[in-house]
Amino acid sequence: MGDTLPKARLAAVQAAPVFLDREATVGKALSLIDEAARNGADLIAFPEVFISGYPYWNRLENVFKTTPYFAELVKNAVEVPSPATDRLCKAAQRAGAYIVMGINERPTNTLGTLYNTNLVIDPTGDILLRHRKLMPTYAEKLVWGFGDGSTLRVLDTPIGKLGTLICGENANPLARFALIAQGEQIHISNYPALPIDGLGYDLCEEIRLRAAAHAFEGKVFTMAVSSVIDASAVKKMADTEEKRRILSGPQTGFTGVFGPDSRSCSETLPPGEEGIIYADCEMEAIIGPKLRHDVAGHYNRFDVLSLHLNRSPSRPLFEYCDKEGREGGAAREEGGRTTEQSPAVDGATPKGDRKT
């Protein structure tokens, strides 16, 4: 009979956060997780920085006037671990599903930097991955720091091999190939919603193109998950009639799932409309397309073309001590591993920090 390959029901949540309100947004996320679980979801994915919102102000206002918004975002950002992640981990455990949650991550060593981060939480409530966006896009550089290669990883799970990239990272062929080469089978990409700006930038079409292209090139199932701009965002940022007009107008974004043949295998939702779409995926469907073009295997020439991935974490401080714990010696060991190799800095969260 041979091996039985995994099957998974994917749930993509197109929804708005309660803008700049961490606790209320986590509460909304828990309700949506419960709804998806009732509908049999094995993996539930949320938009980019769902907790607790995208920094639209840098597209609407002179940067010198936006510091109060940034301060509000910092105060409503998520530390890992924290009470907010505890609630998410318990929800994943209750749902018996994998959760991919976009957060504004606040590191513990500074109040001046945030990271655009995807958390991947497993059905036991463990945080498996904390992927930080490698390169913020355009005005986003005013808000988020840069991630590193330590979190560019694929997770081998009972429902398939999971990988994730955030928004514009999905336009980076090297970042995408790094996941394909690790055997990715289910790719999760998440995005904000954007107001239609009248300048010809069509985020909806760009997302659809990126998602279908990655599905085709990698022969993987690709989820695209976009956010929604709702009244809570308009109320927070629309301090002029012009901003109110822009934020309250038509939106662009895309939520849907593509199969390894690049064809849509789910329903879609209109931009600006909240809801959850589902797709039932069988990993066996990857085999036929891979027979034709397997860029992670037979359909490549690694003696001619290859990718080097630097997994060294970007860190502000390296501490050294001797075997007795005194400063000035060799790198201090933590649980049999040196500080430089600590799980806390390679994208995983140490067991002691995982809350259930």
- Supply the residues annotated as catalytic: 48, 133, 167
Backbone angles phi, psi at 77, to 5 degrees: -80, 175
Spell 279-306 as b/e; 16+ CB within 10 A means b. Answer: bebebebbeebbeeebebeeeeeeeeee
Which position has the token pair 């918004």? Answer: 69
Rounded Cα distance between 80 and 85, Å, is 7
Query: 145: phi > 0 → left, psi -120 to 50 → alpha, else beta; which?
Result: beta
Q: Which residues have a Cβ under 8 Å from the Cβ of 227 and sit 6 or more positions away?
A: 14, 15, 16, 17, 47, 48, 50, 54, 191, 192, 193, 253
